[in-house]
């Protein structure tokens, strides 16, 4: 089985964006604020948006199941206040839940949180609970920088975030550390801000003892871990200077990297440096990089072929990356798959 742990609903019907534009207009003139009920999207429209896009590519590439969350750049937690984000997150999560309901074999949800700059993370807990307990979601996306590129929140190791970690432990779900749109002109959203955040999140964990406080906490750092695997020597050396344990015991029980790296040499390095048990298959399709690589003739985000071709991986390790690690890191995903198999066997 091949599980892609990183997909977003980037192809949602235009009505969603129109509703959001109206919500943003309402911040300047409250009379314009739309009711959540004003968003009307039929199952037929959802099917059209998925079948011609994500599902077509999954079938073409042999991907069975995608952990599916709202479009990351649209989370835009910096817009408005907590109430703005609460309403917006709920609508976006509901759409992902409906897609998972229409295609239960192919999609399972991961929650967007209603974060807002300066807001207490506790304000996210009701939506997180709803997504996991009512919608059957198996993970969440945690934005370490709700300000959108200005980094006004404390580091992920700060007690500020602990209410979310406590709930993650209770629910037994992992978080993908995922920023949203950059509103800092210095940082291109997907080319700089995303990769900066991946690297920054890792270093925040390295310098802290977060996982002593939360031994079962699991973070998935996307986009191949940003600069982390490439600079593994630097991180090992810094940890040594800081008298931290070896990274394997300090961080690798809790931190995982996905395979959203869009060329073979990058995947070769990732899989050579990072133990296979810490690498999870993902493509972030349909996402940031949609073109065809003229050097290979294949889509940049067709990452499965890179894992197949990575020279240092054994077949057992490939199976870990494609399926087994996802089951281990996302126990609710494993439980959903097991329940499905038992249902089919009956
Ligand atoms: Zn993403």
Domains annotated for the chain, with CATH where assigned, are 3-345 (3.20.20.140)
Which one of 127, 284, 317, 323 is the catalytic residue?
A: 284
pTM across the whole model: 0.97
Kindly calculate the radius of gyration of the chain based on its CA atoms and give it in whole angstroms: 19
d(CA 198, CA 179): 9
Confidence class of residue 308 from pLDDT cuts 50, 70 and 90?
A: very high
345 CA from centroid of ligand 1 (Å): 34
Neighbours of ion ligand 1 (CB under 5 A): 72, 284
Q: What is the DSSP letter of 264?
A: H
Mean pLDDT of 314-338: 98
Return the pLDDT at 288: 86
284 catalytic residue (yes or no)? yes
Mean pLDDT of 169-192: 98
- Nearest by Cα to 143 from 47, 74, 65: 74
Task: Give yes or no for residue 251 having a pLDDT over 80.
Answer: yes
Identify the helix (H) or strand (E) that includes residue 107. strand 107-109
Return the pLDDT at 154: 98
Mean pLDDT of 118-137: 98
118 CA from centroid of ligand 1 (Å): 23
Tokens 């990452």 appear where? 303
The answer to whether 108 and 333 are in contact (CB under 8 A) is: yes
Task: Give yes or no for residue 346 having a pLDDT over 80.
Answer: no
165 CA from centroid of ligand 1 (Å): 21
Return the pLDDT at 345: 81
Task: Give yes or no for residue 249 having a pLDDT over 90.
Answer: yes
DSSP alpha helix (H) spans, the chain: 14-28, 43-51, 54-61, 72-75, 82-102, 125-129, 162-171, 194-206, 210-213, 232-241, 247-250, 264-273, 304-309, 315-319, 325-329, 331-345
d(CA 304, CA 260): 10
8 CA from centroid of ligand 1 (Å): 6
Mean pLDDT of the chain: 97
Mean pLDDT of 224-242: 98
Residue 342, CA distances (Å) to 120, 328, 338 in order: 41, 19, 6
Return the pLDDT at 177: 98
158 CA from centroid of ligand 1 (Å): 24
Mean pLDDT of 186-206: 98
73 CA from centroid of ligand 1 (Å): 8
Mean pLDDT of 74-93: 98
Cβ neighbours of 52 (radius 10 Å): 11
Return the pLDDT at 341: 86
243 CA from centroid of ligand 1 (Å): 33
Return the pLDDT at 344: 84
229 CA from centroid of ligand 1 (Å): 18
Mean pLDDT of 100-113: 98
């Amino acid at each position: 089985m091949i599980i892609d742990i990183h997909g977003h609903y980037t192809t949602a019907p235009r009505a969603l964006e129109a509703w959001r534009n109206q919500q943003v207009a309402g911040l300047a003139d409250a009379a314009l604020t739309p009711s959540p009920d004003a968003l009307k999207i039929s199952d037929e429209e959802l099917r059209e948006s998925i079948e011609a896009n994500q599902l077509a590519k999954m079938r073409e590439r042999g991907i069975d199941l995608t952990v599916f969350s709202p479009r990351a750049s649209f989370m835009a937690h910096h817009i408005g206040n907590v109430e703005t984000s609460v309403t917006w997150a709920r609508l976006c999560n509901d759409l992902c839940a409906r897609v998972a309901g229409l295609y239960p074999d192919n999609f399972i949800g991961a929650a967007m949180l209603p974060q807002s700059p300066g807001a207490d993370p506790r304000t996210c807990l009701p939506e997180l609970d709803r997504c996991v307990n009512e919608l059957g979601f198996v993970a969440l996306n945690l934005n370490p920088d709700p300000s959108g590129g200005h980094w006004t929140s404390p580091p992920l190791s700060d007690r500020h975030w602990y209410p979310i970690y406590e709930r993650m432990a209770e629910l037994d779900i992992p978080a993908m550390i995922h920023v949203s749109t950059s509103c800092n002109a210095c940082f291109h959203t997907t080319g700089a801000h995303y990769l900066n955040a991946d690297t920054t999140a890792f270093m925040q964990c390295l310098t802290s003892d977060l996982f002593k406080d939360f031994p079962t906490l699991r973070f998935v750092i996307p986009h191949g871990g940003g600069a982390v695997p490439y600079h593994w020597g630097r991180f090992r050396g810094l940890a040594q200077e800081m008298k931290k344990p070896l990274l394997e015991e300090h961080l690798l029980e809790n931190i995982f990297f996905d395979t959203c790296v869009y060329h073979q040499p990058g995947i070769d390095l990732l899989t050579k440096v990072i133990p296979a048990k810490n690498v999870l298959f993902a493509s972030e399709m349909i996402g940031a990089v949609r073109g065809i690589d003229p050097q290979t003739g294949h889509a940049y985000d067709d990452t499965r072929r890179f894992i197949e071709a990575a020279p240092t991986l054994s077949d057992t390790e490939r199976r870990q990356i494609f399926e087994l690690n996802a089951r281990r890191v996302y126990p609710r995903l494993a439980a959903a798959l097991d329940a499905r198999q038992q249902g089919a066997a009956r």
